[in-house]
């Protein structure tokens, strides 16, 4: 038995105490188990249809050809009965929270019963006279996908046993010889020529073992690569979380000194330490502006790092009215646009637009999109905001007619700190973090975010959420 095992033990990826393939998650096993049951329904239908077809009068009297339809009928009914049981057990497991071991045990029982049904079918269809034995191979292949390599090897030998059982029983005279073509000729071969019978049995065993070895070896290599990729992904996620934590700590440590610097600068600027010369006043004002910009950037970095450590399942969602949130943010953005003559036109639904979301995060998202639209619009321009509902969806669209985004930069504008050259020239005081925050907020709400833009003509940002009922 060990002669069939690969020399590289690392490819085994299992141990003899584990029944199922430990690289398979419960969700994958559920999907494959469901597919297995669906495929068995098709096989049952084929057997029953074949039994009905063979029972037709023209085929009952075909000279030189005879198949007993009862074997197909029996196997078809057995498949239907067993599949009803398996489907019921699978539903119960799904309701109770299945484990990989329980699912693998159920799959193992299914494979065993299929081997028995195939053995009956092999006997009824003449065994050596028909290619029905080929149907054992798909089950061996499935065993390599469902189970550990040791147990798939054992299942292969079980398959060999059931595949050769009809021939052995016929040879020993335990059951009568069934032939679909020439009964006398087959009886002569089976009973008087043990060399041919033995060679045939060994050929079946060798073919199935070769099939198992090749498929399981390939499967082992693929699973090894999958495990390595999963470990690499876990390592990258860990590094990303550590990076976020370091970023949060560093920015928190910077925030307090900058707040102190800012307070000192404003103390000088406002004359609490005595009047300053005009040039000194200008320098102090510029220092204050830079402090404001750095403080805003530090705050955005902390906010973004916190968002990236969150997942949709960890976000506290309540039913909120997106219409009311956007309307309030439009009013705030209008205060920014009024000094430059920029008007904001909000076209909303006449009713509430409820969605499951975080009110604070949606306010941040809307604020960033609206402020960007205002900041990158030309003086005297217009920003158009619309909120529309379709069956099950709510869509927020914000369109400006400003400087636009170069086409080659559209895929990068949601990266933190990235700003296109025309954006830097038009608005040098931006932190470059707003759209990165928007992307993370949309991700946490399982929404969709898209942008279209033409350079010099403006941009359209579209956000879609699932509507709450």
Domain positions in the chain are 2-236, 244-308, 314-466
Q: Which fold has domain 314-466?
A: Heat Shock Protein 90 (3.30.565)
More confident residue, 112 or 296: 112
SS3 at position 462: strand
pLDDT: which is higher, 148 or 458: 458
Compare 432 and 451 and report the one with higher pLDDT: 451
Q: What is the structure's pLDDT at 419?
A: 82
Buried b (16+ CB within 10 A) or exposed e, 166-204: bbebbbeeeeebbbbeeeeebeeebeeeeeebeebbeeb
The 8-class DSSP code of residue 428 comes to T
Instruction: Considering only residues 11 and 408, tell me which one the structure prediction assigns the higher pLDDT.
Output: 408
Least confident of 104-113, 215-224, 371-380, 421-430: 215-224
pLDDT band at residue 462, thresholds of 50, 70 and 90? very high
Mean pLDDT, the chain, integer: 80
The confidence band for 127, taking pLDDT boundaries of 50, 70 and 90, is confident
Tell me the H-state helices in 270-358: 278-308, 322-337
Determine how many CB atoms are found less than 10 A away from the CB of residue 263.
10
| CA dist., res. 453 & res. 414, Å (int) | 14
pLDDT band at residue 4 using 50, 70 and 90 as cut-offs:
very low
Indicate the pTM of the whole model.
0.50
Q: Residue 11 phi/psi, 5° resolution? A: -75, -10
Looking at residue 347, its pLDDT comes to 86
Q: Measure Cα distances from 449 to 218, 391, 414, 438, 460 in Å.
A: 40, 18, 10, 9, 11
Query: Are 167 and 197 contacting, i.e. CB atoms less than 8 angstroms apart?
Result: yes
SS3 104: helix
344 CA to centre of own chain: 40
Closest CA to 264 of 284, 294, 283: 284
Helix (H) or strand (E) holding 27: helix 26-54
Strand partners, 345: 384
Among the ranges given (51-55, 379-383, 448-452), the one the predictor scored with the smallest mean pLDDT: 51-55
Task: Between 424 and 385, name the one with better pLDDT.
Answer: 385
* Average pLDDT of the residues in 288-316: 75
Q: Take residue 224 and report the two structure tokens written for it.
A: 């090894």
- Which residue do the tokens 């920003």 mark? 383
């Amino acid at each position: 038995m060990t002669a069939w095992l690969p020399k590289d033990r690392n490819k085994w990826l299992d141990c003899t105490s584990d029944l199922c393939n430990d690289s398979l998650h419960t969700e994958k096993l559920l999907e494959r188990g469901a597919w297995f049951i669906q495929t068995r329904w098709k096989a049952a239908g084929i057997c029953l249809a074949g039994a009905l077809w063979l029972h037709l009068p023209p085929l009952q009297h075909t000279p030189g050809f005879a198949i007993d339809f009862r074997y197909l009928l029996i196997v078809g009914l057995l498949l239907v009965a067993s599949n009803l049981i398996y489907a019921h057990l699978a539903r119960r497991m799904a309701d109770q929270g299945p484990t990989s071991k329980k699912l693998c045990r159920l799959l193992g029982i299914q494979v065993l019963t299929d081997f028995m049904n195939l053995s009956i079918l092999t006997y009824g269809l003449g065994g050596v006279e028909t290619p029905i034995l080929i149907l054992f191979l798909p089950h061996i292949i499935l065993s390599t996908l469902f189970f550990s390599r040791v147990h798939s090897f054992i299942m292969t030998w079980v398959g060999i046993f059931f595949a050769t059982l009809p021939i052995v029983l016929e040879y020993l005279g335990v059951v009568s010889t069934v032939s679909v073509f020439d009964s006398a000729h087959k009886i002569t071969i089976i009973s008087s020529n043990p060399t041919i019978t033995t060679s045939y049995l060994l050929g079946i065993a060798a073919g199935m073992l070769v099939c198992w070895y090749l498929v399981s070896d390939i499967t082992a290599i693929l699973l090894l690569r999958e495990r390595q990729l999963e470990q690499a992904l876990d390592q990258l996620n860990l590094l990303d979380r550590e990076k976020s934590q370091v970023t949060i700590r560093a920015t928190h440590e910077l925030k307090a000194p900058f707040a102190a610097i800012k307070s000192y600068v404003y103390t000088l600027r406002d004359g609490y330490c005595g009047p300053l010369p005009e040039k000194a006043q200008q320098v102090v004002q510029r220092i204050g502006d830079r402090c404001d910009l750095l403080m805003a950037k530090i705050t955005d970095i902390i906010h973004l790092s916190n968002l990236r450590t969150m997942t949709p399942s960890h976000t506290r969602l309540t039913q909120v009215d997106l219409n009311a949130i956007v309307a309030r943010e439009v009013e705030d953005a209008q205060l920014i646009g009024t000094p430059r003559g920029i008007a904001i036109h909000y076209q909303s639904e006449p009713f509430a637009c409820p969605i499951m979301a975080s009110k604070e995060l949606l306010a941040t998202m809307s604020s960033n999109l609206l402020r960007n639209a205002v900041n990158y619009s030309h003086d005297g321009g217009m920003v158009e905001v619309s909120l529309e509902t379709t069956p099950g969806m709510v869509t927020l669209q914000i369109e400006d007619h400003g400087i636009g985004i170069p086409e080659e930069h559209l895929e990068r504008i949601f990266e933190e700190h990235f700003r296109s050259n025309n954006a830097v020239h038009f608005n040098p005081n931006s932190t470059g973090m707003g759209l990165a925050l928007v992307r993370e907020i949309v991700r946490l709400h399982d929404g969709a975010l898209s942008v279209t833009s033409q350079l010099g003509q403006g941009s359209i940002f579209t956000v879609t959420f699932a509507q709450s009922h």
